[in-house]
Amino acid sequence: DADVTQTPRNRITKTGKRIMLECSQTKGHDRMYWYRQDPGLGLRLIYYSFDVKDINKGEISDGYSVSRQAQAKFSLSLESAIPNQTALYFCATSDEDRWVFDEQFFGPGTRLTVL
């Protein structure tokens, strides 16, 4: 079984709809991250969480919100989706033992299309 799972894997939605992307992990890591990947732009950090009570904005948090329901679960919400949020979204985890933004382990990704 995969250590980091994301659901759904693909989603098509319409402008203005609320959508939630979910991430679960069995690695036992405290730190979890959400990124988006756009063609030719690399990955950009949306939000990150160091534990259940600690949520931090990343580089591009506008238009997104997150919830850390448990150590193993971190969800990303788009309250009112817009077409430029069409992208590939990755969840990642890292261990807490060393540093902020330690080596990360990525989920399989969710491809989101907003029409």
Partner 1 sequence: ELKVEQNPLFLSMQEGKNYTIYCNYSTTSDRLYWYRQDPGKSLESLFVLLSNGAVKQEGRLMASLDTKARLSTLHITAAVHDLSATYFCAVVTDDKIIFGKGTRLHILP
Residue type present at position 5: T
Q: What's the CA gap between 74 and 69, in Å, rounded?
A: 6
Residue type present at position 69: Q
Under the binding rule (CB under 8 A), the answer on residue 89 touching partner 1 is no
Give whichever of 40 and 84 is closer to partner 1, judged by the CB atom: 40
What does residue 84 show for φ and ψ, rounded to 5 degrees?
-80, 5
Give whichever of 17 and 44 is closer to partner 1, judged by the CB atom: 44
Q: In the complex, what is the shortest distance from the CB of residue 95 to partner 1, in angstroms, rounded to a whole number?
A: 12
Under the rule (CB under 8 A), what is the footprint of partner 1? Answer: 40-45, 59, 90, 92, 99-101, 103-109
